[in-house]
Structure 1
Amino acid sequence: MDGYQLRTEKKKEKIRNVAIELFLSFGIEKVSITEIAKKASVSPVTIYNHFGTKDELVRKVITSFIQKEWEDRLDITKRGDLSFHEKIEKMVFETESITGKTNPEFLNSMINGDPELEKMIGEIYHQFLPSIVDFFEEGKKQGYMDPDISTETIMIYLNLLKNAMSGFHFYNDPEKNSKLAKDLTNFFFYGLLNKAPNRK
């Protein structure tokens, strides 16, 4: 990559970072290209040249955000200093924390986007699906999950949850969203158990 390409990539990264910061705080509809350009110290024309329309920028920003969130969660699953149960607890806590601080309009855009965005998010999900299944398989080996549950069943369960999210909506109450995220993440991992199993 030559100097020009490197400068271009850095500029695009700055635009994405500024856009995600503003979208997370204020939602997508209330943030204009002009505002993003001003904070990123570029012209609106530069944003249009690199990303096209605002809708295309939104798709890029949301998919980059989701990609990073998946990567962060998978990094947790690879940590050798945490037990299986501790890894789940950390993922629950981080999901709750992010959701409680994020504008609900942005959250709803992630799970109820346009068809093209939904396709892009689906591709990310399938990219990380094998690693998720591996994580659950490790949980079975460690005795945290029923060893008789097949990999096929785990995949069906994950797909059912993914499809259910398409009709979900977050609220205009950060505390309510935070609790909802925690409940959903707990349900994702523990189902209808009264509490998480306390195993070592």
Structure 2
Amino acid sequence: MDGFERRREQKKQQILEAALTLFLDYGIQKVAMTEIAKKAMVSQVTIYNYFDNKHNLVHEVFVYYVNKAAKDFEDIVYSDLPFPEKIKQVIFNKREASQQINEEFYRYLMKEYTTGSGYIQTVYEEKAVPYLIDLLEEGRAQGHVDKSLSNEAIFFYLSMASDYVQREDVYEKILPLTEEITKLFFYGIAGERNEGPEGREM
């Protein structure tokens, strides 16, 4: 990529980031191209040169948002955080992200997911699933994850937990219990068991 292409790509990212910030705060319909141009510090003409129209811009912002979410997930999985902390973030960070999304923009995301190009599903299958498998393998290697449990069962459990904590009537009550819920994920209601050098329970 030469200097011109690099600058062009940086300006495109600048526009996408500005549009995403405004869409997350105010939704799509209420945000004018003039506002996006002002926040991105470019002219409206520049935006139209890159995206032709607002419809195309919205779709590109959707793709940008999904890729950004995948990158955030990747950063958690391959970070130096302890394995239990990674699991905690996988379960609870989804709620933090959803709180920042304007309802109209969230509906657009769900519409794209169910009837659109299937881009979210593609990213999930090609990125999120392999990342999560790597995370579980790390957990198994460190002795945090029972080797007899299938990835499918753990995926289901994590999805169920992270979806549940997003509920408005649940989140505030569950937040003070974060540490306990994370412990429940690892040890169940029986509690942590210590084993001796030959694998016998102590």
Q: Do these two structures clear the TM 0.5 threshold for a shared fold by scoring above it?
A: yes
The equivalent position to 1:176 in structure 2, one of 159, 168, 171, is 168
Aligned partners of 1:136 and 1:145 also within 8 Å: yes
Equivalent positions of 1:90-169 (< 5 A) are 90-113=89-112, 117-128=116-127, 129-151=129-151, 153=152, 157=156
Percent identity of the aligned residues?
Answer: 33
Q: Find the residue that maps to 1:28 and give its secondary structure.
A: coil
- Structure 2 CA distance for aligned equivalents of residues 14 and 117 of structure 1: 25
- Structure 2 CA distance for aligned equivalents of residues 72 and 60 of structure 1: 18
Residue deviations 1:37-94 (CA, integer Å, cap 9, x gap): 2322323232122123322212211221221222222222223341x22111123343
Q: Which residue of 2 aligns with 1:17?
A: 17
Shift of 1:146: 3.6
- Structure 1 CA distance for aligned equivalents of residues 110 and 169 of structure 2: 14
Q: Which residue of 1 aligns with 2:197?
A: none
Q: Which residue of 1 aligns with 2:199?
A: none
- Name the amino acid aligned to 1:196: F
How many residues are paired up? 178
Distance 1:97 1:138, change over 3 A: same
Determine which structure has more spread, i.e. the larger CA radius of gyration. Answer: 2
- Structure 2 CA distance for aligned equivalents of residues 50 and 76 of structure 1: 32
Distance 1:86 1:194, change over 3 A: closer
- Structure 1 CA distance for aligned equivalents of residues 76 and 63 of structure 2: 20
- Name the amino acid aligned to 1:6: R
Larger relative contact order (CA 8 Å, sep ≥ 6): 1
Aligned partners of 1:141 and 1:147 also within 8 Å: no
Shift of 1:21: 0.7
Distance 1:36 1:178, change over 3 A: farther
Question: What is the TM-score of this pair, normalised by structure 1?
Answer: 0.70
Q: Which residue of 1 aligns with 2:56?
A: 56
Distance 1:2 1:112, change over 3 A: same
Aligned partners of 2:22 and 2:31 also within 8 Å: yes
Q: Find the residue that maps to 1:21 and give its secondary structure.
A: helix
Q: Find the residue that maps to 2:185 and give its secondary structure.
A: coil
The equivalent position to 1:197 in structure 2, one of 186, 190, 200, is 186
Shift of 1:116: 7.3
- Name the amino acid aligned to 1:101: Q
Distance 1:53 1:139, change over 3 A: same
- Structure 2 CA distance for aligned equivalents of residues 42 and 62 of structure 1: 20
Distance 1:39 1:120, change over 3 A: same
The root-mean-square deviation of aligned C-alpha atoms, in Å, is 3.6
Gap runs ≥5 in structure 1: none
Gap runs ≥5 in structure 2: 195-202
Question: What is the TM-score of this pair, normalised by structure 2?
Answer: 0.69
- Structure 2 CA distance for aligned equivalents of residues 149 and 112 of structure 1: 34
